[in-house]
Amino acid sequence: MGDNLAAKPQPQEDLDGDGRWMSIHERFLAEVKEKEPEVVFIGDSHIALLEHTDVYKEFFAPLHGLCLGVRGDTTSNVLWRIQNGELEVIKPKVLVLLIGTNNRGQTPEQILSGIRAIVECVLKKQPQAALFVAKIPPRGEKPNPKRELLAKVNAGLANALADVPNCRILDIDPGFVGADGMIDHRDMYDFLHLTPQGYRKAFEIVHIAVSSVLNPDSA
């Protein structure tokens, strides 16, 4: 992995000195000991906020879903959390990973290396589970360099994970960027985080994919 920080496990820096990130991690460690989830979501704020949406309550709560998402997390933060107990004890049938939008100062190749490191770690700990790696949603009201970088990451996912067994790429973007290159605030209220409407559009796609694994006869 060399000096690629995207693939180096490390806790999120405690910039405010209140220890919140580690407290969340410890809460997750307690939750995995209490629950028997069939579907586990792992990632950043996209996953952290998912748990509080109607679409989650409708589609995933009945499946005994578990969200292990932390605002601001990068690939290195998620990798650290997984290496430090968050995927122990439980044996889900499906895992959904969504990460990468917070990686800064890194190339698409470095971010892909970080995602690859997480995928390898996840499947080592949960070899029985089907893993969906979600493409990173676009961001910014107008075309911008960050959006272009994430598009390159998304384009490279299939090749970066081509030889990984039981792993599928999932495009959860229903068309958030319009023909004019703009993102509608009704889908992303701050042009990054999804609104309830945006979550429904993106995670109906996830629900179909998850259902194809849990109930293959009805898919």
Residues carrying an active site annotation:
45, 190, 193
Q: Collapsing DSSP states into helix, strand and coil, what is residue 134?
A: strand
In three-state secondary structure terms, 53 is: coil
* Interatomic CA distance for residues 40 and 10, integer angstroms: 21
Report d(CA 100, CA 107) in Å as an integer: 11
Check if the beta carbon of residue 1 is closer than 8 Å to that of residue 117. Answer: yes
- Partnered with residue 134 across adjacent β-strands are 170
Closest residue by Cα to residue 46 from 137, 150, 154: 137
The structure tokens listed for 152 are 């390159």
Q: What is the Cα gyration radius of the chain?
A: 16
Q: How far apart are CA 99 and CA 118, in angstroms?
A: 10
